[in-house]
């Protein structure tokens, strides 16, 4: 089998870290998670995301934010020239 089931060296891990400082006082852990997933609060509540043991989002910033934004701006610029 695959090495899963624990946060330990040598095991793959997918998990999300929520910002505890987000305005969720008085909610249970399940309510906090549901609020982060389904409610639009205007606050960034996802702090970190790890996929396969690799950090993808740290402190709310995706690992490829800058390059993805640059690619989007370049693509949009090209599309607007065609109009």
Per-residue pLDDT reduced to its tens digit, 45-56:
788 999 888 889
Per-run averaged pLDDT (10 residues), the chain, 83 residues: 73 81 74 78 81 88 88 93 84
| pTM metric for this prediction | 0.58
- Nearest CA-CA partner of 10 in 53, 56, 43, 41: 53
User: Around Cβ 18, how many Cβ atoms within 10 Å?
Assistant: 17
Q: What is the pLDDT of residue 77?
A: 93
Asked whether 28 and 34 are in contact (CB, 8 A), the reply is no
Return the pLDDT at 27: 82
Helix (H) or strand (E) run with residue 56 in it:
strand 54-58
**Residue 10 backbone zone (phi > 0: left; psi -120 to 50: alpha; other: beta):** left
- Would you state the pLDDT for residue 10? 76
């Amino acid at each position: 089998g695959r090495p899963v089931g624990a946060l330990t060296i040598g095991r793959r891990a997918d998990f999300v870290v929520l910002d505890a400082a987000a305005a969720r006082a008085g909610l249970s852990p399940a309510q906090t998670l549901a609020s982060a997933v389904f409610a639009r609060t205007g606050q960034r509540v996802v702090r970190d995301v790890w996929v396969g043991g690799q950090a993808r989002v740290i402190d709310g910033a995706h690992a490829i934010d800058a390059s993805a934004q640059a690619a989007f701006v370049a693509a949009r610029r090209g599309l607007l020239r065609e109009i």
